[in-house]
Each structure stands twice: as structure tokens, then as C-alpha cells.
């Protein structure tokens, strides 16, 4: 089976999202970029994660949106995934969309997560912005997500859930897990008042670390 490694990564990510409690049923979706190509391995639509196999995973052309390998329909959120992959290029190896409870609750009250803890800026790049609501699966949602995500790694989708990206699928899942924990913190803090933000100097230094860690690795030896 072609691109088996990326298909297996999609299966792993879907099962890990279930294990972490970030999705239920068939909610959420995953895409993994196939290096050096304009193709992604994409989770299929309406397949239970406990029954998902690599053969169920589709391979999709980012430009045309066509399934080039596989027998199932890709995720209904393919437009959103493809837009992020196209906008961020090879710097993003995987995109994960989840409907976790705390993030979704925060999205319903119309809040993102400002920079409140150190690892948030160092790992996610700063705040987790709130993307205004658009219909799931729509081109309008895809456009809004790209606009509000910018060069960050996580975004909250109003009345919907979240989207996380990473240089690989393991980082993308870890980003979603961190976003959910930060949403839990926000939900505990808000009844007590507005959260205090990280000091500006800490934000500046941690943002510099984020930018440095986001660069592609340099070759050990140059010609």
C-alpha cells in the first residue's frame, strides 16, 4: 500500500485523540502531509476510530482536492485542512481538528486563551485566538481559520472545537492536548475574574524560542 507510513500516522493520531479524551465517536479529523509532495493522508468520513485501519485512510491532492488513493470519502473538513497545509507549506506536517469538551465550552462563551502560562507561548506561539463561526466544512471556515491562525499552532473555532498543527503528527496531537488543558484553566479562572497575562518580557523571550524551534533544521554539513 502506497504511503503506508503517513496512513499509519493518521490511525495512530485518531486513536490517541480518543485515548486523551479529545474526541468522541467519529468527531474530529486528521491530515498528515506526505513530504516533498502536494499530497496528504486524511482520515475518512464517518468511520469509528476503534475500527479504523490504514486501508481506510485516503490520500488527497491538496490542489484539486481529489482522492488519489483509497476507497473512502475523506473527512468533511478537508477544505479547512487543505487551506492550512497550503498556507503553511512544509513547516506543517500534520493538522488535527478535535471537539474536546473544555475548548468547545470556551468557544461557546466566545473566548480564546490569552498568553497566560509559559509553555503556551513557547509551544503554541502565543494566544489561542478565537475564530468566528462559519459553517463546518465550508470554504468560508477554511479562509477564516487561515486568517486567524497565522503562524500560531492552535486556534479555537467558535461553537465548534479546535484545530492544532505541528511539524509532525505527534506534535500536532500534543498541541491539541495542551490547548484543551489551557481551556480547562481558563474555565476555572473566569469565575474568579479575568486572567493575568504573562509578563511582556517573558512573552518576548518565549516567542523567540518558539520562532527558533519552528525553523526547519539545518544540514549538519554544507557543501
What are 151-205's pLDDT values in tens digits? 999 999 999 999 999 999 999 999 999 999 999 999 999 999 999 999 999 999 9
Contact 57, 7 (CB under 8 A): yes
Long-range contacts formed by 165-168: CB under 8 A, 24+ apart: 165/84, 165/88, 165/92, 165/94, 165/95, 165/96, 166/92, 166/93, 166/94, 166/96, 167/91, 167/92, 167/93, 167/214, 168/9, 168/93, 168/94
127-157 confidence digits (pLDDT tens): 999 999 999 999 999 999 999 999 999 999 9
Tell me the whole-structure pTM to 2 decimals: 0.93
The pLDDT of residue 24 is 85
**Residue 222, in any domain of the structure:** no
The pLDDT of residue 196 is 96
60-104 confidence digits (pLDDT tens): 999 888 999 999 999 999 999 999 999 999 999 999 999 999 999
The pLDDT of residue 214 is 84
Mean pLDDT for 7-33 is 95
**Residue 221, in any domain of the structure:** no
Mean pLDDT for 5-21 is 97
Residue 150: CATH number of its domain:
3.40.225.10
CA pair distance 12, 30, nearest whole angstrom: 10
The pLDDT of residue 25 is 82
Going by pLDDT thresholds of 50, 70 and 90, the confidence category of residue 56 is: very high
Residues, the chain, total? 223
Could you tell me the strand order of the sheet in which 67-69 lies? 67-69, 58-61, 39-42, 29-33, 94-98, 161-166, 154-157, 130-131
- How many structural domains are present in the chain? 1
**Residue 32, in any domain of the structure:** yes
**Residue 220, in any domain of the structure:** no
> For residue 62, which of 142, 5, 134 has the smallest C-alpha distance?
142
Long-range contacts formed by 213-221: CB under 8 A, 24+ apart: 213/122, 214/91, 214/125, 214/151, 214/167, 216/90, 216/91
How does DSSP classify residue 123? Answer: I
> For residue 7, which of 74, 58, 51, 79 has the smallest C-alpha distance?
58
**Residue 59, in any domain of the structure:** yes
- Whether the pLDDT of residue 1 is over 90: the answer is no
Mean pLDDT for 10-19 is 97
- Domain with 95, as residue range(s), is 4-214
- Whether the pLDDT of residue 217 is over 60: the answer is no
Contact 33, 85 (CB under 8 A): yes
Catalytic residues: 77
Amino acid at each position: 500500500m502506497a504511503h503506508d507510513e503517513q496512513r499509519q500516522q493518521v490511525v495512530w493520531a485518531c486513536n490517541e485523540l480518543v485515548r486523551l479524551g479529545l474526541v468522541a465517536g467519529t468527531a474530529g479529523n486528521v491530515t498528515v502531509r506526505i513530504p516533498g509532495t502536494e499530497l496528504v493522508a486524511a482520515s475518512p468520513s464517518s468511520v469509528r476510530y476503534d475500527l479504523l485501519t490504514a486501508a481506510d485512510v485516503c490520500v488527497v491532492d491538496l490542489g484539486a482536492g481529489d482522492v488519489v488513493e483509497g476507497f473512502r470519502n475523506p473527512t468533511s473538513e478537508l477544505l479547512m485542512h487543505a487551506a492550512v497545509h497550503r498556507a503553511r507549506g512544509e513547516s506543517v506536517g500534520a493538522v488535527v481538528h478535535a471537539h474536546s469538551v473544555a475548548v468547545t465550552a470556551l468557544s461557546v462563551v466566545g473566548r480564546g486563551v490569552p498568553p497566560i502560562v509559559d509553555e503556551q507561548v513557547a509551544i503554541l506561539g502565543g494566544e489561542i485566538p478565537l475564530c468566528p463561526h462559519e459553517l463546518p466544512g465550508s470554504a468560508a471556515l477554511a479562509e477564516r481559520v487561515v486568517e486567524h491562525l497565522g503562524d500560531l499552532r492552535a486556534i479555537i473555532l467558535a461553537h465548534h472545537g479546535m484545530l492544532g498543527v505541528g511539524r509532525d503528527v505527534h506534535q500536532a496531537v500534543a498541541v491539541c492536548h495542551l490547548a484543551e488543558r489551557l481551556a480547562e484553566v481558563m474555565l476555572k479562572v473566569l469565575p474568579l475574574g479575568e486572567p493575568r497575562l504573562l509578563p511582556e518580557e517573558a512573552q518576548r523571550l518565549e516567542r523567540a524560542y518558539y520562532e527558533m524551534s519552528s525553523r526547519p533544521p539545518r544540514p549538519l554539513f554544507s557543501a
